[in-house]
Amino acid sequence: MPANEWRDGSGKISAATMIHLFNGFKNPFGGSDLETLELYRLLSADSEVRLWATSSRVSGDLMRQFPIRRISLPKSNVPDGGTYVFLGTHWRNKIWPYLIPRPRRLIYVFNTFHPKVIALTTRMPRMLNWPDAELVLISDFQKRMLRVDGVVHPSPIDIERFSPKPAKPGRPFTLGRLSRDTPDKHHADDVPLYEGLLAGGVALRIQGGMLLKDKLKPHPQLELLPQGRFAAEEFLQTLDVFYYRTGSHVETFGRVVFEAMSCGLPVVCHSHGGYADHIRHGQNGFLFETTQQARQILTDLKADPELRATVGREARRTVEQLFSSQALRRRLDFYLH
């Protein structure tokens, strides 16, 4: 039995040591959903952990794959004390928090840029009588932008799922990106960039790019795939370079960038995002401000396989340090004490 748990006379694990993870679980490909599930996997090695859906629009696929529970007061299916961890969701303006046992600890993992939600979670209603929320942020970039206090824990990633794979001989230089298939994930200036790259002989694969079908002309070396068509680790291994820039959405962390780095890919990313703090330009990846800069970086990478290999190896080393067993242990211990 893990040292942080104790059992009562009936052999049941004490509710005081239970960890409850709350998320909307609406999107099998959402960063917040994946972060919650990876934290569940990691914490389950040391504690009893339960998953709770806070949204009525919970994904059926996720419900079938994971032991996610719906909160139901009539059925007494509710959290029963211990540590409550809310990831990208909150407890305000709901009835059930007032009718369930008080948590021993309350942790809010804030993974967006919506200050209003921080206000909702830090100003506790007097009648609720819950402990003050302990705030976890997922990047130093996010902490600087919001100017709030809290510990910084990078969104956990199982980097052993992602591994470098040699390119198949004879394959054209392949650029790609991976994201949800929503307008805020795509930048308008990328359409002419893609057209120029295709004209220059680059093969382009975009998973989560179906909304670009009306904006990009068909091309024999263009693949637009729906989100989730391939597992991230499978898709990324078909690329030579990973490219990433978003539209109105600003990445607080950008876990897909780190997944690409885990595959030993050189990443070429817009400089405004949580991932940028971990990218050393020209060493383990590339950052750009303008489309012209991005085009030049991609042109150089296409022409220089050795540069791609060198930067890719350093990218893999970076994520191995960021998600080392020692680093993960320190972050998990925060939830277990």
Task: State the pLDDT at residue 3.
Answer: 35
Mean pLDDT of the chain: 91
Evaluate if residue 88 carries a pLDDT over 90.
no
Evaluate if residue 9 carries a pLDDT over 70.
no
- Which domains are present in the chain? 15-156 (3.40.50), 160-322 (3.40.50.2000)
Evaluate if residue 30 carries a pLDDT over 90.
no
**Measured distance CA(230)–CA(236) in Å, rounded:** 9
Tokens 């046992």, residue? Answer: 101
In terms of C-beta distances under 8 Å and separation of at least 24 residues, what long-range contacts does 328-333 make, across chains too? 328/42, 328/156, 331/153, 331/154, 331/156, 332/42, 332/43, 332/46
Task: State the pLDDT at residue 29.
Answer: 87
Report the pLDDT averaged over residues 307-327: 97
Contact assessment for residue 147 and residue 140, using Cβ atoms and an 8 Å cutoff: no
Evaluate if residue 92 carries a pLDDT over 90.
no
Backbone phi, psi, residue 142, to 5°? -65, -40
Backbone phi, psi, residue 241, to 5°? -145, 140
**Measured distance CA(33)–CA(57) in Å, rounded:** 13
Band of pLDDT at residue 53, cut at 50, 70 and 90: very high
Give the β-pairing of 83-87 and 68-70. unpaired
Q: Could you tell me if residue 93 is left (phi over 0), alpha (psi between -120 and 50 degrees) or otherwise beta?
A: left
**Measured distance CA(252)–CA(31) in Å, rounded:** 10
Evaluate if residue 12 carries a pLDDT over 60.
no
**Measured distance CA(112)–CA(77) in Å, rounded:** 29
Band of pLDDT at residue 55, cut at 50, 70 and 90: confident
Contacts of 107 (CB under 8 A, 6+ apart): 83, 84, 85, 86, 133, 134, 136, 335
Evaluate if residue 1 carries a pLDDT over 60.
no
pLDDT over 90, % of the chain: 75
* Helix residue spans in 44-139 (DSSP H): 60-65, 115-122
Kindly state the tokens that stand for 114: 């919506």
Report the pLDDT averaged over residues 213-226: 96
> Comparing 90 with 18, which gets the higher pLDDT?
18
Task: State the pLDDT at residue 94.
Answer: 84
Task: State the pLDDT at residue 89.
Answer: 86
Task: State the pLDDT at residue 137.
Answer: 93
Contact assessment for residue 71 and residue 96, using Cβ atoms and an 8 Å cutoff: yes
Task: State the pLDDT at residue 247.
Answer: 94
Band of pLDDT at residue 15, cut at 50, 70 and 90: low
Task: State the pLDDT at residue 72.
Answer: 87
Residue type, 16: A
Q: Which of 11-15, 39-43, 265-269 has the lowest mean pLDDT?
A: 11-15
Kindly state the tokens that stand for 38: 């990876």
Evaluate if residue 14 carries a pLDDT over 80.
no
Give the predicted TM-score (pTM) of the model: 0.88
